[in-house]
Structure 1
């Protein structure tokens, strides 16, 4: 079956039909009838990334700036309309009268955290992610564009969802019921070999772009979380991955790639992906290539660690085997200067705290501040949010986590935020 002859995906579905259906699946109707998007909205404008929020003064705690490592005691953060207007020592910072005050005395103040790999399919999952400190995130794909709806929900009502980079549907050989997510995907259902030809690969990317995806998600290996699959089996070649990357680049987007084997990792990186996901068996030659290209590594240690406690013996053994290998790869990447980003790979109704990923980064051998950066400034750069998220400085988003204890001494405090602020609103 030739898919090239099909008409281009209709952009008319992007805002109304697709978002309304995804909103229903995500468990919210808050965005079922959004206003027409401007070009700036579609390209994650400042307005879209920093929706109007509340006025708040966070006062009295110890402020950590992950960018510089600077620690400010008796600090104050002033947030107006959801944006930081001032941050620093309380004695040197003018605070407005009449604003709501969050007392942080005896606690530490950090910017909202970033989960660079998470699957958010419902409104409840989106709320849980924020409550656990992930005020910004990047989707690892959803079956029916729910992540695009979650992104719009965050723009309308920031307290309900993290600021999100949406991936739409997975570019994978076998789409399954995902062909029902979009009428422009249904012609692919009859392909004998699945989504493997250059035309079919381009089609899935183009449909995602037409529906408003911010990034494209694909795979090079089978899944680790299914006992019947072998994560070292390669499903796409270098040439196929290159087709996906090229199609995404024509739309101005990057690609994140699910990967495990060394050859798969190397093929994905040299094909031009933006970030390598999981990557348990990534080798030194590939890490050097990643450093040269600026390719990010999102190891999702939390997900791999979770396999070890699986009741399935195959998955449990896989987790026990893969986790130490992956930790060594993370440390090697860090020592080589490969940029790292924290991602939990949460899915299926259970949202893990991104602070757990920071804890595992620390266990892998990263210094505490560098581990924290993987969920703040580092992940923010990967998402293109380096001027919005990851710091509490003038002009940045008013997203805050307050924790009980010094994260530089014990990063595990990030798993249990005492307070979370999203766009100036205390949850």
Structure 2
């Protein structure tokens, strides 16, 4: 069977129907309905959605990840969800009538970014926020649920992270995702799966038509399934290049699930924006990544989690892979490859993004550099560096309050005392 090379025709009815189904599966339609018409139709236009909380956070020790500067007895003033002031107390900086959060004896940081997470439901999105991830990038969902979660975040920002959605996975065997979307259904009859240039472009184009912000693909099989070999390559350099080219035509980047060295190398040469997992990435590929500015999202927490599996194949895989990945992270950092934190949380289990920071530190990064992987570095990857990753005037009013100095003990980031999203205490 041949798939037409042209992108799928725009269909307002199809798009609305598909995304309505995604919203129903994610539970976002019910959440917005329960919140009332004001939530469904924000009255205040703002960059990245409705940012309408007012809050003063005072007395804490403020950390700026960009500079490493520490300010004691600081004040953070958030107006309409955006930082108005962050720094030392100054006369008139704290207006009357604004809700206050006393942070004395605590540390104040920008909300964290989970650059690889699978959010399919309202409950998962809410849990991610309460565990510190106020921004995130999706690692794909089965049926565009992440696009629904993104829309929830824009209308009820305290219920979900600010989200860059990936839509459905570009993979040889797309499973139920193919049958769930009328514009993908013709791919179900392809012998050998989604492999031709036309089929690969079709999946990318449909994702873009549904509103995806980024494209997710793979070069290797999965490590989390005992019957798969994560060193087996499923797409060639040429196939990956077709995916990247189609995404770029839509102005989007590609994140690529990868394990084997050859797979990593092919993916980076094909022009992906970020390498995910990348356990066996080697020096030649790291040099290529540094030259191209390719980001590395090692998802250490996910690999460490394999070692705790009850399945002996997965447990052994985790024990063998984790030290290799730690060394890859250390080498990448020393070489200047930009590292970003992602938990790869999925299936209803949300790992605190602070735990990934802790594992980055254990792999050899300083506490400050480890924090940057979930703040300034991740913000650049997501294209949010002018509004996320710091607490400064004009930035998002997303805040993490922790009980002690994270530069002395990064594990405290896994146990936030308070999380503020768009000026609202979560």
Q: Which residue of 2 aligns with 1:290?
A: 289
Q: Distance in 2 between the 1:76 and 1:62 partners?
A: 9
Please show how residues 147-162 of structure 1 align to structure 2 within 5 Å: 147-162=146-161
Q: Which residue of 2 aligns with 1:38?
A: none
1:26 maps onto 2:34 in alignment? no
Shift of 1:10: 2.4
**Does structure 1 conserve the Cα–Cα contact (< 8 Å) formed by 2:304 and 2:322?**
yes
Q: Which residue of 2 aligns with 1:194?
A: 193
Q: Distance in 1 between the 2:163 and 2:374 partners?
A: 14
Shift of 1:92: 5.8
Shift of 1:373: 0.1
Q: Distance in 2 between the 1:88 and 1:52 partners?
A: 21
Shift of 1:366: 0.2
Shift of 1:28: 2.5
Shift of 1:52: 2.5
TM-score w.r.t. structure 2 length? Answer: 0.96
Q: Which residue of 1 aligns with 2:3?
A: 3
5+ residue gaps, structure 1: 36-40
Q: Distance in 1 between the 2:315 and 2:37 partners?
A: 44
Q: Which residue of 1 aligns with 2:88?
A: 89
Shift of 1:90: 1.8
5+ residue gaps, structure 2: none
Q: Distance in 2 between the 1:325 and 1:236 partners?
A: 23
Q: Deviations over 1:87-136 (max 9, x none)?
A: 10124661111100000000000000000000000000000000000000
Shift of 1:13: 4.8
Shift of 1:180: 2.4
- In structure 2, do the counterparts of structure 1 residues 317 and 34 end up closer, same or farther at CA, with 3 Å as the change threshold? farther
Shift of 1:149: 0.3
Please show how residues 390-405 of structure 1 align to structure 2 within 5 Å: 390-405=389-404
- In structure 2, do the counterparts of structure 1 residues 15 and 385 end up closer, same or farther at CA, with 3 Å as the change threshold? farther
Shift of 1:250: 0.3
Q: Distance in 2 between the 1:370 and 1:418 partners?
A: 22
Moved more, 175-184 or 89-98: 89-98
Moved more, 76-85 or 92-101: 92-101
Q: Distance in 2 between the 1:236 and 1:19 partners?
A: 29
Q: Distance in 1 between the 2:72 and 2:406 partners?
A: 14
1:273 maps onto 2:272 in alignment? yes
Runs ≥4 residues deviating over 6 A: 32-35
Q: Distance in 2 between the 1:149 and 1:9 partners?
A: 22
SS in 1 for 2:22: helix
Q: Deviations over 1:10-43 (max 9, x none)?
A: 25157622321111100221458999xxxxx9xx
Q: Deviations over 1:208-243 (max 9, x none)?
A: 000000000000000000000000000000000000
